[in-house]
């Protein structure tokens, strides 16, 4: 049993680390559609992590959350985003507020910050998923950074979804999943938010002939 | 329990019906009926809570106490006022061709969903479901803000969607942390996010985790309240959204978000300390109050002017909660009510002026008193109430907050220079004096800025080509009622409201 929980903990850590790795890949990627693919890959890792936690702990309701993640974040949302990108006339991030190497360095700093913040509270957690909370916080921060550093509406949206993945990893790993009703609600909200943002991107394209959010400067002090 | 079910069912069914109905008169009838049901249910709940104390319903899903009932009262009052105002406002928008008649039912559908989400966020027991409902308010209002579909409104809507979604995601992280801390204290983890359960075990929760959770939640929901520095979406959204929507955003949504923070605060207070949460609330409160006071001075757009005044007043309420004690908390809650009434009135007036003058520039609006005497009166009264002058009840609540601040100061706030030589604690005599001075100076600045702009709009002669008469519509009714309430509440609080406020204060103040 001791051996199982030890290797199980290693596996969960490995999966969480893969999630973090895909974050870096997203920050380094300039092509919009590749960003979406990477997000789908990250969500797939999330499904594996959740299923692993569900199997190792015997919490049945995490399976439901894992299946929902698979359907919504691996299949539906990437499809919606791909459709949105097809309508756009620019498929790449041309100008970035922060270039790729600097962005990666900042993300490295964010990971250290996340481990520093969560250090005092990690010992409280379950043995199995102890380090995942810090990784989850790191993913949240990197998602945040992506939203700030990119100017295309689609990449900002991907940043938001990465942030949401981090939150979900935190909820699964740190607490073995939130009560089911809450998780269902969160999934619903994320799905609707993505659909709305997709519709918005189309309207922005029509009204401004661009989805550069730095063109949104009509309103200011 | 029928009244609790009615509370949720009324906006739900009204929203569903609105999708299939296309006639404007019918849409308004559905809206007013659902609001009437909502208000009736609220009255029944108020009397139940006042008689028997807090209760849970629907298998622990719903938890109602004096605080949530008080918030429900604000939702009902402002919602009803908006419904009457919409009767004249939306019809005119359709008649003038600004809104296509086919899109009117979409407006009502989203309005009802917005209302539903706010009601759910107020009555629900689990803080997790509350998060879901508050995020749902963001989603429902995004299209309402961008309803005019101009470039500016799309920009405002996008900003609102992104900023609030991200902000509120941080609040979700806070909720996860709260749940994390409750796992060790609770036997039944399925109930681990219920306020009723958390309050029982609150003093056994891990203080370190809760501190982190509270910071995340304060920043997250603070984004929706519009606290500085997370406020940048607010002036844009308030300028671009149709007037009834802004009245709901400013009057109700801010209050519901504050309520979510307060709920969390009570739990954290038990485990950590009152001074920790109070200090943070007061910090954000002062940041909002001072920043907004200066921004009020430089506005040349009257909707933005009122938007910054919203930030200012939320700051004042936050200072009240931060300072705490019976007086500060009571003042803060009462200020939420007064601000909701005064601000929805101000935006009704702003909507009327916009319809007549077709501009949001203060410099191009003159002589409202000649062109629209009723609206001028509403604008003047709301301006005076928002400046917290007597005889309006906002004067009473602001004085309560100021008195609490002067007598107690800001808890757990001190500044030390690098050598540790000079320490200023904001709760000693000098510190109290200083913070009270800052508070009063900001309030005076805001008063000056607001009244200077408003008098400039009210007096003078209207520009050429502006119609100089105002016919009575049903939209004027809520304005008069709100103005009356503001005056009456300053000298006489109706007993049910007073009891609700007093009981809610006891819930929030921990001895």
> Between residues B48 and A125, which one has the greater pLDDT?
B48
When pLDDT is cut at 50, 70 and 90, the band that residue A127 belongs to is low
Inter-chain contacts counted by CB atoms under 8 A, chains A and B: 128
Structure tokens, B484: 């009356």
* pLDDT score at B443: 95
Asked whether residue B481 is domain-assigned, the answer is yes
Closest-approach residue (CA) in chain B for A159: B166
Q: Which region among B126-135, B149-158, B296-305 has the lowest average model confidence (pLDDT)? A: B149-158
* Pairwise CB contact (< 8 Å): B143 & A196: yes
d(Cα B153, Cα B167) in Å, to the nearest integer?
A: 21
Contacts of B138 in chain A (CB under 8 A): 193
B357: in domain: yes
The answer on pLDDT for B152 being more than 60 is yes
In a domain, A178, yes or no: yes
* pLDDT for position A10: 84
- Residue B286 in domain: yes
Residue A74 — very low, low, confident or very high, per pLDDT cuts 50/70/90?
very high
Alpha helices in A58-76 (DSSP H): 60-69
Whole-number pLDDT of residue B120: 96
pLDDT digits 0-9 by tens, B320-356: 999 988 999 999 999 999 999 999 999 999 999 999 9
pLDDT (0 to 100) of residue A220: 66
Highest mean pLDDT among A130-144, B84-98, B127-141: B127-141
Residue A221 falls within a domain, yes or no? no
Question: What is the pLDDT at residue B422?
Answer: 62
Q: Confirm whether A68 is domain-assigned.
A: yes
Report if residue B189 sits inside a domain.
Answer: no
Indicate the range of A18-27, B187-196, B448-457, B478-487 predicted with least confidence.
Answer: B187-196
Query: Looking at residue A1, what is its pLDDT?
Result: 42
B126-159 in b/e burial notation, b at 16+ Cβ within 10 A?
bbbbbbbbbbbbbbbbbbbbbbbbebbbbbbbbb
* Nearest-angstrom CA–CA distance, B27 and B112: 11
Distance CA B393, CA B306 (A): 18
From B27-36, B171-180, B395-404, the region with the lowest mean pLDDT: B171-180
Quick: pLDDT tens for B473-487.
888 899 999 999 999
**Average of per-residue pLDDT values in chain A:** 85
CA B334, chain centre distance (Å): 12
Q: Do A124 and B181 touch (CB under 8 A)?
A: yes
CB-CB under 8 Å, B152 with A124: no
The answer to whether A77 and A198 are in contact (CB under 8 A) is: no
Range of the domain at A93: 2-211
A198 shares contact with chain B (CB less than 8 Å)? no
Quick one: pLDDT at residue B299?
A: 92
CA distance B301 to chain A (A): 10
Q: Which residue of A has its CA nearest to B298?
A: A221
CB-based contact B82:B479 (threshold 8 Å): no
Instruction: With respect to residue B198, please indicate whether it lies within any of the assigned structural domains.
Output: no
CB atoms within 10 A of CB A116: 11
Both tokens of A67, joined, read 């299946």
The torsion defined by the Cα of A66, A72, A78 and A83, in degrees rounded to 10, comes to: 170
**Which tens digits make up the pLDDT trace of B65-97?**
999 999 999 999 999 999 999 998 998 888 888
| Six-digit token string for A154 | 């689609």
pLDDT for res B151: 86
Express the helix, strand and coil content of chain A in percent, nearest 5 each. 80, 0, 15
Report the distance separating Cα B219 and Cα B35, nearest Å. Answer: 32
Q: Does residue A135 carry a pLDDT above 70?
A: yes
**What's residue B426's pLDDT?**
76
* pTM score, whole prediction: 0.94
Average pLDDT of the residues in A3-30: 85
Whether the pLDDT of residue A33 is over 50: the answer is yes
Residue of A nearest to B154 (CA): A204
pLDDT of residue B164: 93
Q: How far apart are CA B15 and CA B100, in angstroms?
A: 19
Q: Does residue A79 form part of some domain? A: yes
Contact B172 A147 (CB under 8 A): no
Residue pair B122/B75 in contact (Cβ under 8 Å)? The answer is: yes
Model confidence at B295: pLDDT above 90 = yes
**Does the residue A219 lie in any domain?**
no
* B33 burial via Cβ count (<10 Å: 0-12, 13-18, 19+): middle
pLDDT 10s digits, B46-72: 999 999 989 898 888 899 999 999 999
CA distance linking residue B27 with residue B9, whole number of Å = 17
CA B144 to chain centre: 17
A208: chain B residues, CB-CB within 8 Å: 151, 154
d(CA A137, CA B168): 15
Which domain range does residue B479 map to?
273-511
Give the Cα separation of B1 and A204 in Å (integer).
Answer: 46
Partners of residue B179 in chain A, C-beta under 8 Å: 171, 175, 178
Domain count, chain A: 1
pLDDT above 90 covers a percentage of chain B that reads: 70
User: Residue B191: what pLDDT?
Assistant: 78
Q: Is residue B422 part of a domain?
A: yes
- CB under 8 Å to A196, separation ≥6 — which residues? B139, B142, B143, B161
Segment B391-447, tens digit of pLDDT:
899 999 999 999 999 998 888 766 666 665 666 677 778 888 989 999 999 999 999
Query: Which of chain A's residues have a Cβ under 8 Å away from the Cβ of B139?
Result: 189, 192-193, 196
pLDDT value at position B47?
93
In the numeric block, which tokens belong to residue B276? Answer: 């920790």
Model pLDDT, residue A123: 74
User: Residue B30 falls within a domain, yes or no?
Assistant: no
What pLDDT band is residue B386 in, cutting at 50, 70 and 90?
very high
Collect all residues of chain B within an 8 Å Cβ-Cβ radius of residue A130: none
Q: Mean pLDDT score of chain B, rounded to an integer?
A: 91
For chain A, the straight-line distance linking the first and the last C-alpha, in angstroms and rounded, comes to 63
Does residue B258 belong to any structural domain of this protein? no
For position A119, what pLDDT does the model report?
A: 83
E strand or H helix that includes residue B414: strand B414-416
pLDDT mean over B352-362: 92
With both helix axes pointing from N to C terminus, report the angle between B393-408 and B373-386 in degrees, rounded to the nearest 10.
Answer: 10
Domain count, chain B: 1
């Amino acid at each position: 049993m001791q051996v199982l929980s030890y290797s199980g903990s290693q596996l969960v850590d490995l999966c969480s680390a893969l999630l973090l790795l895909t974050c870096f890949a997203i920050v380094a990627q300039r092509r919009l559609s590749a960003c979406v693919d990477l997000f789908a890959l990250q969500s797939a890792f999330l499904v594996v992590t959740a299923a692993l936690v569900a199997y190792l702990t015997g919490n049945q309701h995490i399976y439901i959350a894992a299946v929902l993640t698979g359907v919504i974040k691996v299949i539906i949302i990437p499809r919606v985003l791909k459709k949105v990108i097809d309508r756009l006339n620019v498929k790449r991030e041309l100008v970035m507020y922060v270039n790729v190497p600097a962005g990666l360095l900042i993300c490295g700093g964010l990971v250290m910050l996340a481990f520093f913040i969560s250090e005092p509270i990690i010992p409280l957690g379950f043995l199995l998923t102890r380090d995942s909370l810090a990784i989850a916080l790191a993913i949240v921060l990197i998602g945040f950074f992506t939203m700030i550093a990119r100017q295309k509406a689609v990449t900002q949206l991907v940043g938001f979804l990465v942030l949401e993945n981090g939150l979900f990893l935190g909820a699964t790993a740190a607490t073995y999943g939130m009560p089911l009703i809450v998780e269902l609600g969160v999934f619903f909200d994320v799905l609707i938010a993505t659909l709305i943002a997709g519709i918005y991107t189309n309207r922005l394209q029509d009204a401004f002939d661009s989805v550069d959010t730095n063109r949104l400067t009509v309103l200011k002090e | 329990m029928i009244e609790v079910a009615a509370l949720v069912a009324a906006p739900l069914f009204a929203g569903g019906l609105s999708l299939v109905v296309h006639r404007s008169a019918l849409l308004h009838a559905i809206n007013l009926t659902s609001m009437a049901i909502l208000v009736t249910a609220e009255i029944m709940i108020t009397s139940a809570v006042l008689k028997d104390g807090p209760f849970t319903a629907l298998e622990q899903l719903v938890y109602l106490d004096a605080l949530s009932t008080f918030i429900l009262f604000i939702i009902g009052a402002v919602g009803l006022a908006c419904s009457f105002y919409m009767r004249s406002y939306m019809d005119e928008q359709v008649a003038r061709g600004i809104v296509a008649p086919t899109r009117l039912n979409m407006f009502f559908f989203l309005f009802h969903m917005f209302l539903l989400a706010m009601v759910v966020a107020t009555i629900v027991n689990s803080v997790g479901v509350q998060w879901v409902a508050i995020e749902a308010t963001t989603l429902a209002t995004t299209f309402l803000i961008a309803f005019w579909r101009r470039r500016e409104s799309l920009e405002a809507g996008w900003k609102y969607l992104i900023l609030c979604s991200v902000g509120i995601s941080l609040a979700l992280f806070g909720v996860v942390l709260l749940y994390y801390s409750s796992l060790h204290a609770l036997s039944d983890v399925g109930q681990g996010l219920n306020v009723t359960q958390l309050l029982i075990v609150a003093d056994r929760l891990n203080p370190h985790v809760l501190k982190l959770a509270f910071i995340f939640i304060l920043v997250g929901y603070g984004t929706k309240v519009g606290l500085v520095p997370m406020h940048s979406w607010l002036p844009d959204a308030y300028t671009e959204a149709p007037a009834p929507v802004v009245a709901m955003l400013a009057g109700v949504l801010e209050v519901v978000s504050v309520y979510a923070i307060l709920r969390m605060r009570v739990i954290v207070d038990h485990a950590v300390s009152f001074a920790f949460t109070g200090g943070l609330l007061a910090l954000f409160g002062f940041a909002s109050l001072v920043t907004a006071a200066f921004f009020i001075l430089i506005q040349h757009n009257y909707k933005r002017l009122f938007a910054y005044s919203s930030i200012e007043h939320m700051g004042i309420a936050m200072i009240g909660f931060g300072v705490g004690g019976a007086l500060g908390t009571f003042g803060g809650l009462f200020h939420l009510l007064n601000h909701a009434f005064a601000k929805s009135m101000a935006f009704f007036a702003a909507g009327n002026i916009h319809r007549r003058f077709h501009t949001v520039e203060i410099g191009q609006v003159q002589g409202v008193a000649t062109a629209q005497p009723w609206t001028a009166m509403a604008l003047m009264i709301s301006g005076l109430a928002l400046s917290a002058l007597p005889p309006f009840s906002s004067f009473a609540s602001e004085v309560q907050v100021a008195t609490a601040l002067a007598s107690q100061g800001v808890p757990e706030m001190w500044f030390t220079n690098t050598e540790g030589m000079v320490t200023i604690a904001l709760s000693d005599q000098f510190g109290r004096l200083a913070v009270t001075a800052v508070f009063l100076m900001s309030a005076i600045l805001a008063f000056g800025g607001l009244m200077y702009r408003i008098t400039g709009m009210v007096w003078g002669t209207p520009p050429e080509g502006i119609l100089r008469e105002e016919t009575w519509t049903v939209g004027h009714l809520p304005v008069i009622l709100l103005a009356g309430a503001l005056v009456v509440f300053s000298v006489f609080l109706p007993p049910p409201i007073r009891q609700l406020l007093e009981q809610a204060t006891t819930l929030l103040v921990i001895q």
